[in-house]
């Protein structure tokens, strides 16, 4: 099963600052998670040129697709980037991971999520969506989408309803399976009527966490999983350290979490989806696919950020092979 992801292409930049003055210079409150505009982004980059940093491709679906590639899956990615150095590094990193990049490119600064880490360890996040938020329906190419078997769509794109509906239409026209992650309870609550229409009509595999499932159904996790399984072929409700529920038809399968020493839960859901979709691509049972998802989630929560270090993947692949066999 060849899978292509569609999401907001955002570069993750982690900056370690010596004091909090950089934050006040940019106009961001310490500990905040804020959307910033282009002018703030320019000031941010000017003020941070000498800071220690790590840069990696980000965005929810990109995290999933990269992880699938690291497992050996045949995957691609659609997003919109600018013309700066961050765009070049984003595309290069995906290619190195084995992802087929299908970027729409435009002039200007690429979207990014900048995380400032102060000496006390507190994280302050500034997100500039930039070109990522301007991807439009006409820029989706049916000739690319039709070469895949499954499309995995980021829930944050739901707010761009014309783009979201076009992606669903192109995928269904080409006979692809549609996998959707709801991404945020805020997104669900703001777009509930539309989601109640399109999910039963167009979505085959649905991922959500406990909050998102409640926002959509108003039910407890197990009841929500059962309800969602009446709308889609496969519904997955992740429950953090309590594991997950996988539902299909009238069956609800509980999945245990893999024990981990969690330091940062960023990317846990993204990696669960990666393992689950990879398992399905290998014709695994739902139980085994979800166990692979739980395995990947356990690894990413043990590191800071949403990316499992390269040196861990060989060991992970051995564990995955054991689950599949």
Domains and CATH numbers, the chain: 3-9+57-109+132-324 (3.40.1190.20)
SS3 of residue 220 by DSSP:
coil
Secondary structure (DSSP) of 99-164: EEEEEEE-SSPPPEEEEEE-TT--EEEEEE-GGGGG--GGG--HHHHTT-SEEEEEGGGGGSHHHH
SS3 of residue 206 by DSSP:
strand
Q: Tell me the pLDDT of the chain (325 aa) as tens digits.
A: 999 999 999 988 888 888 888 788 777 888 777 788 888 888 887 877 778 777 788 899 999 999 999 999 999 999 999 998 889 989 999 999 999 999 999 998 899 888 888 887 777 888 888 999 899 999 999 999 999 999 999 998 998 999 999 999 999 999 999 999 998 898 999 999 999 999 999 999 999 999 999 999 999 999 999 999 999 999 999 999 999 999 999 999 999 999 999 887 878 999 999 999 999 999 999 999 999 999 999 999 998 778 899 999 999 999 999 999 9
C-alpha span between 114 and 127 (Å, rounded): 6
C-alpha span between 204 and 201 (Å, rounded): 9
C-alpha span between 306 and 294 (Å, rounded): 15
Q: Pairing mode, if any, of strands 33-35 and 75-81? A: unpaired
By the 8 A CB rule, do 92 and 103 touch?
no
By the 8 A CB rule, do 144 and 78 touch?
yes
Nearest alpha carbon to residue 7 among 85, 111, 109: 111
Tokens 């861990």, residue? 312
> Computed from CA positions of residues 268, 263, 215, 160, in that sequence, does the dihedral angle turn out positive or negative?
negative
Sheet containing 177-181: order of strands: 99-105, 75-81, 3-6, 150-154, 177-181, 205-209, 234-238, 244-248, 251-255
C-alpha span between 262 and 260 (Å, rounded): 6
Nearest alpha carbon to residue 148 among 99, 105, 182: 99
Query: What is the pTM for the complete model shown?
Result: 0.90
Tokens 């360890």, residue? 121
């Amino acid at each position: 099963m060849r899978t292509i992801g569609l999401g907001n292409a955002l570069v993750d930049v982690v900056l370690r600052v010596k004091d909090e003055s950089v934050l006040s210079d940019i106009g961001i409150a310490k500990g905040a998670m804020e959307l910033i505009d282009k002018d703030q982004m320019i000031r941010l980059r000017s003020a941070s040129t000498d800071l220690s940093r790590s840069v990696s491709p980000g965005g929810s679906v990109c995290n999933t697709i990269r992880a699938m590639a690291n497992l050996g899956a045949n995957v691609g990615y659609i997003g919109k980037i600018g013309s700066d150095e961050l765009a070049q590094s984003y595309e290069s990193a995906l290619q190195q991971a084995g992802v087929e990049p299908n970027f729409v490119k435009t002039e200007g600064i690429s979207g990014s999520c900048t995380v400032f880490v102060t000496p006390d360890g507190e994280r302050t996040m500034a997100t500039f969506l930039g070109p990522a938020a301007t991807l439009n329906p006409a820029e989706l190419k049916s000739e690319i989408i039709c070469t895949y078997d499954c499309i995995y769509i980021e829930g944050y794109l739901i707010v761009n309803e014309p783009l979201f509906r076009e992606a669903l239409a192109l995928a269904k026209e080409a006979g692809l399976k549609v996998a959707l992650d709801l991404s945020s309870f805020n997104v669900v609550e703001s777009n509930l009527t539309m989601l109640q229409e399109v999910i039963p009509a167009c979505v085959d595999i649905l991922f959500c966490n406990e909050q998102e499932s409640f926002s959509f159904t108003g039910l407890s996790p197990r009841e929500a999983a059962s309800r969602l399984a009446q709308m889609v072929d496969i519904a997955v409700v992740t429950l953090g350290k309590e594991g997950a529920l996988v539902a299909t038809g009238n069956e609800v399968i509980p999945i245990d979490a893999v024990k981990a020493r969690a330091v940062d839960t960023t990317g846990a859901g993204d990696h669960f989806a990666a393992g689950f979709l990879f398992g399905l691509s290998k014709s695994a049972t739902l139980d085994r696919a979800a166990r692979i998802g739980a395995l990947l989630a356990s690894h990413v929560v043990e590191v800071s950020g949403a990316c499992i270090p390269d040196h861990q993947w060989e060991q992970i692949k051995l564990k995955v092979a054991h689950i599949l066999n």
